[in-house]
A and B are shown apart, each in its own frame.
Chain A
Amino acid sequence: MDFELTEEQRDIQKAAREFMEGEYDKEKILRWEKEHAFPFEIWKKAAKLGFIGIHFPEDYGGQGYGVMENILIVEEFCRKDSGVGVALSLTDFSSEVILRFGSEEQKKRYLPPITRGESISGGAYTEPNHGSDITLMSTTAVREGDFFVINGTKTFITNGSLADFFVVLCQTDPQARPTYRGQCTILVEKGVKGLEVSEITPKMGIRMTSTAELSFSDVRVPVSNLIGEEKKGFYQVLEFFDESRIEIAAQALGIAQGAFDRALDYARQREQFGRKLVEFQITQHKLADMATKVETARLLTYKAAWNFDHKGIDPKLTSMAKMFSAKVAVEVADEAIQIFGGYGYITEYEVERFYRDAKIMEIYEGTKEIQKNTIASALIGKLK
């Protein structure tokens, strides 16, 4: 049992921290957030330094590290700024589906540009009528010769307006029972005929990230765009979530830590009734509770990452980390605003942004309710 990061991991963590501290410019960030703009300049720089797709093998432009190293970066980025952190961490969203299940050709074609900061990926799973339930897709892919013809609508698609390509979960066999055995994932590049992207805006938080609706009408893509086997789409996406939710847990952890850092700084400086806030026991206790929550979220998140790298997928652990860290992010950011008082409600003081950005953690990549289903099903087993 060893709770310490390795020297190399500490170096990565420190490099990520120093990078974001160096790039952090509150004025710009507040502007991007206000304008729902993606932080292009920081993204390009981060990619150049190897921070994006660090967990891809070297053959695909990555650095050959694991999920653990990736989430250390995600945590540090989100800690310094929730909006930029989330946006950067999601630029390779769903690329793992290609990494884990794609053909050599697909990996070589789609992954390296992501690590170079030249391409952004997206995953199109959620549909207007289904939400977190992906067992039956209304979006269909029908084979016509060497092509798939895709029809349907996907919503709340992360990177919708930014992505260069999407991993799209489609129903190829509506007759299959259970229905999810008739699904596949297909690569669709942006700009193809019949694909329409409409940004969903404005939204409460993660405003530097695009969220859009994709509508497919007779979108034709070559059969070679099929990722892995035809009947395995559902399983691929589930496995992908079991990996990516660790990253979401790390986003939440970073946001929680960042909100805490700001609250502690403020409490140290701010005077009320002739004393510093930190001198009041009520503030001390708040800070103690916040720090304990953050540390607990960290232990769970790191364990989930470690487990993934050393032992493999554990849906229960991943869901616990994602659900818990998300809850902690919301609670700690909420408490941070409370410590700031009126200032906390003002955009300039940032904790309100952390709070808004925290809330999505409990919603996207599976709501907390979905996480509970996963945890419970692992605990109880299948009910007859």
Chain B
Amino acid sequence: MNIIVCIKRVPDTADADLAIDRSGRDIEKTGLAFDLNEWDSYAIEEAILLKERFGGTVTVLSMGGEDTNESLRKCLAMGADEAIRLTDPAFSGSDGFATAKVLAQAIRRLPYDLILTGTQAEDDGFGEVGVMVARLLGLSHVAIVTRVEMEDGKIRAHRELEGGLEEVVEVKLPALLTIQTGINEPRYVSIMGIRKVAKKEIKVWGLSDLGLKEEEVGLKGSDIGLERLFLPLVGEGAQILEGKPEEVAAKVFEILKDKGGLV
């Protein structure tokens, strides 16, 4: 089985104090550590687990500059077989839609039975690229997948809904799944893995290699464009629930129900 995994390298901002840079359109990135998007690390692990069970190859794709090689190398070290970086000056400013077009165009040039992506990225959090890629390629898909089982050319997937509920669906291959965190335990990179990577070459495909036109990608080929960034109001704090204890209790019940807090 040939599996393609789409990944993204993102700044690790979970524990960082973020500031907006002078342009007002980007964050101050100096001092931030970058890593494979958390969701993608689960996607690559799931791909490798499937490969270990059913054979085949895992190819990793990512759109990004040279720095992205670091994350691609990590995937190779974890056990992927091939890595391709999609890069072109024309890609800059791409939103999820433009990114999906670039990825889909690259995937058309590759053999595959299954495509995995993370459910969303830690930075933009569009949560749309995977499903868009599926549609562009005319494939069935399942989003927010927490469990994958394979049988007779079909995937039985659990997808996460709100409030501790899961939906079980079946899709025919080829298909695309967007992977949710927690589906597996992403492995550590081993030194043996790193040594293997040293011998591998990461392919680079640009706009013309993909047969895309400039107006299809970047900001021009996007649905949305960034106007400005701003910091959320700090210290505005909690919304205070007021009223009699019974009224407050009812409100708490609603909040719990809404936020998946009732099992």
Please report A residues at the B interface, Cβ cutoff 8 Å.
7-8, 10-12, 14-15, 18-19, 22, 45, 48-51, 54, 63-65, 268
Contacts and interface: CB of A to CB of B under 8 A. Distances in A.
B17 A15 contact: no
Contacts of B192: 49-50, 63
Which 8 pairs show the lowest CB-CB distances between chains A and B?
A50-B191, A15-B189, A49-B190, A11-B194, A19-B188, A63-B191, A50-B192, A50-B190
B195 A15 contact: no
A65 B73 CA distance: 18
B226 interface: no
B73 A12 contact: no
Given A63-B195, A268-B17, A11 B77 contact: yes
Interface in B61-87: 69-70, 73-74, 77
Interface in B23-69: 69
Contacts of B191: 12, 15, 49-51, 54, 63, 65
20 contacts: A7-B69, A7-B70, A7-B73, A10-B70, A11-B194, A12-B191, A12-B194, A14-B189, A15-B77, A15-B188, A15-B189, A15-B193, A18-B188, A19-B188, A49-B189, A49-B192, A50-B192, A63-B191, A63-B195, A268-B17
Contacts of A11: 70, 73-74, 77, 189, 194, 197
Contacts of A14: 70, 74, 189
A49 B197 CA distance: 15
B198 interface: yes
Interface residues of B, number: 16
A313 to B, nearest CB: 25
Contacts of B198: 8
Given A7-B70, A63-B191, A65-B191, 18 more contacts: A8-B197, A8-B198, A11-B77, A11-B197, A12-B194, A14-B74, A14-B189, A15-B77, A15-B189, A15-B194, A19-B189, A45-B188, A48-B190, A49-B188, A49-B190, A49-B191, A49-B192, A64-B195
B190 A15 contact: yes
Contacts of A48: 190
Contacts of B189: 11, 14-15, 18-19, 49
Contacts of A65: 191
Contacts of B197: 8, 11
A268 B189 CA distance: 31
Main secondary structure of the interface of A (DSSP, over half): helix
Contacts of B195: 63-64
A18 B34 CA distance: 12
Contacts of B188: 15, 18-19, 22, 45, 49
Contacts of A10: 70
A65 B192 CA distance: 11
A131 B61 CA distance: 58
Q: Which of A19, A45, A50, A65 has the most chain B CB atoms closer than 10 A to its own CB? A: A50
A92 B73 CA distance: 29
Q: Which of A15, A19, A51, A64 has the most chain B CB atoms closer than 10 A to its own CB? A: A15
Q: Which of A7, A45, A64, A268 has the most chain B CB atoms closer than 10 A to its own CB? A: A7
Contacts of A64: 195
Nearest to B17: A268
Contacts of A15: 77, 188-191, 193-194
Nearest to B190: A49
A280 to B, nearest CB: 17
A12 B189 CA distance: 9
Contacts of B74: 11, 14
Contacts of B194: 8, 11-12, 15
Q: Which of B69, B77, B194, B197 has the most chain A CB atoms closer than 10 A to its own CB? A: B194
Q: Which of A12, A49, A51 has the most chain B CB atoms closer than 10 A to its own CB? A: A49
A146 to B, nearest CB: 40
Contacts of B193: 15
A313 B125 CA distance: 52
A278 to B, nearest CB: 10
Contacts of B77: 11, 15
Nearest to B185: A22
Q: Which of A14, A19, A268 has the most chain B CB atoms closer than 10 A to its own CB? A: A14
Nearest to A20: B188
A12 B197 CA distance: 11
Contacts of A22: 188
Nearest to B188: A19
